[in-house]
Structure 1
Amino acid sequence: MSETIRVLITDDHFIVRQGLRLILKTAADIELVGEATNGEEAIQLTAAHQPHVVLMDLRMPVMDGLTAIEQLGQLHPKIAVIILTTYNEDEMMLRGLQLGARGYLLKDTERETLLNTIRAAARGESLFKPDILQRALSVQATATPPTKLTSSSSADELTPRELEVLQAAATGERNKEIAFRLGISARTVKAHLTSVYNKLGVDSRAAAIAIAAQRGWL
């Protein structure tokens, strides 16, 4: 997108907000429009400032991040939410993705990863760090035994190719990378993912991966 990306930070720890603020100030194409200390404030500030991207902590007083993500999805579905997570919030992160978050970041992530993830979210895309996602999927697999993908485990069964594309997406591969490895076009990859979204009743790669992980498909 050509316009400046408007970002809202939501975290109850001052030092986290300060660190993010300093990083965002170094990017000419990103503008910090507000800082919230809990989910309730995030909803209020989102309505007031209409950011393109909201960085959302999960554990906060008054209103937690999951509740805020769900409400923002209902009130402002076009605004991208990126989860701010730590190493002990894997299950919450997956739940947040299923509720509509566009992606996730560790709070100690490096500058370029933070900025690139924000830019991707503002464009309507999702960027995943494979190591974080694989760890989260491992936790989910331990909690939920894998189930065979059949019509009994899903209202609409995914085709083998759709499942293959979804599993590749879950490792962090982008459409062009998936296309190259599978020997198909990027347009075909996009079509498969769109079909997956329709069958699972979601509108993003993040939500599809979260649901697939919770059902033991990955």
Structure 2
Amino acid sequence: MSNLIRVLITDDHSIVREGLTLILETADDIVVVGEAADGAEALKLVAEQQPDVVLMDLRMPGMDGLTAIEHLQRDHPQVAVVILTTYNEDNLMLRGLRAGAKGFLLKDTPRTTLLETIQAAAKGESLLSADVMGRLMANMQAEKKLPTPLNNTPLTERELQTLRAVAAGNTNKGVAVHLGISERTVKAHLTSVYNKLGVDSRAAAIAVAAQQDLL
């Protein structure tokens, strides 16, 4: 039981919650510990159920997803948040990543991608589809103002290689195999990247790097 990934689903549409629950119940390593209809209910259930991953809709009545993510990042930073998004919510998606979400999913994503993304999020990783990555980069390039890293130290070539491999959807193990280095070294490179870009997650690092044309 200790190896099960505990998931909380937050969406204001009951049919979406029920559909996700049915899909997740088919996975041997995932258990749905609760469903919330808005951000406030999600925060209450997180405190009670201590999930590993929260699937978070952004547009909800009452407390919206962005506000809930900010609260979770402050009060429950160990909980990985994965944004549930639709094709017309790119700006909200980016704001959610900057608020602390670890990744994002389209609501019509295939079952395999849904399960793999949750499994990756539970391990502190992100799996980004080429489609979503393309939208992310396009939105970043459309913005005029670029964020400024917390320090002026540029990323090393190895750090860039690591970040690009992560942006391509590789797990830490996949990056290690691709670059011929250990997983521990991959984690060290990512930690350095986070510090230099002023972020604290893979998804946010990719977002900032895309905006700065590093990918």
> TM-score of the superposition, structure 1-length normalised?
0.86
Partner of 2:118: 118
Give 1:130 deviation, angstroms. Answer: 2.5
CA distance in 2, matches of 1:17, 1:137: 29
Residue 116 of structure 2 aligns with an amino acid whose one-letter code is N
Q: Is the 8 A contact 2:82 2:101 kept in 1?
A: yes
Q: Is the 8 A contact 2:125 2:171 kept in 1?
A: no
Against the structure 1 CA distance between its residues 216 and 64, is the aligned structure 2 distance closer, same or farther, given a 3 Å change threshold? farther
Give 1:213 deviation, angstroms. Answer: 3.1
Residue 213 of structure 1 aligns with an amino acid whose one-letter code is A
Q: C-alpha root-mean-square deviation of aligned residues, in Å?
A: 2.4
Q: Is the 8 A contact 2:70 2:99 kept in 1?
A: yes
CA distance in 2, matches of 1:188, 1:160: 14
Q: Is the 8 A contact 1:9 1:54 kept in 2?
A: yes
Moved more, 25-34 or 72-81: 25-34
Q: Is the 8 A contact 1:145 1:216 kept in 2?
A: no
Partner of 1:167: 164
| SS in structure 1 of the partner of residue 56 of structure 2 | strand
| SS in structure 2 of the partner of residue 125 of structure 1 | coil
Q: Give the gaps of 5 or more residues in structure 1.
A: none
Give 1:75 deviation, angstroms. Answer: 0.8
> How many residues in Structure 1 have an aligned counterpart in Structure 2?
214
Partner of 2:22: 22
Against the structure 1 CA distance between its residues 153 and 97, is the aligned structure 2 distance closer, same or farther, given a 3 Å change threshold? closer
Moved more, 32-41 or 187-196: 187-196
Moved more, 21-30 or 153-162: 153-162
Give 1:47 deviation, angstroms. Answer: 1.0
Moved more, 5-14 or 160-169: 160-169
Residue identity over aligned pairs, in percent, reads 64
Which whole-Å deviations, capped at 9, do the CAs of 1:12-31 have from their partners, x for residues lacking one? Answer: 11221111011122223222
Q: Is the 8 A contact 1:80 1:124 kept in 2?
A: yes
Which whole-Å deviations, capped at 9, do the CAs of 1:29-74 have from their partners, x for residues lacking one? Answer: 2221111111111111111111111100011111111111111011
Q: Is the 8 A contact 1:6 1:32 kept in 2?
A: yes
Give 1:215 deviation, angstroms. Answer: 4.1
Choose the corresponding residue for 2:188, options 167, 186, 191. 191
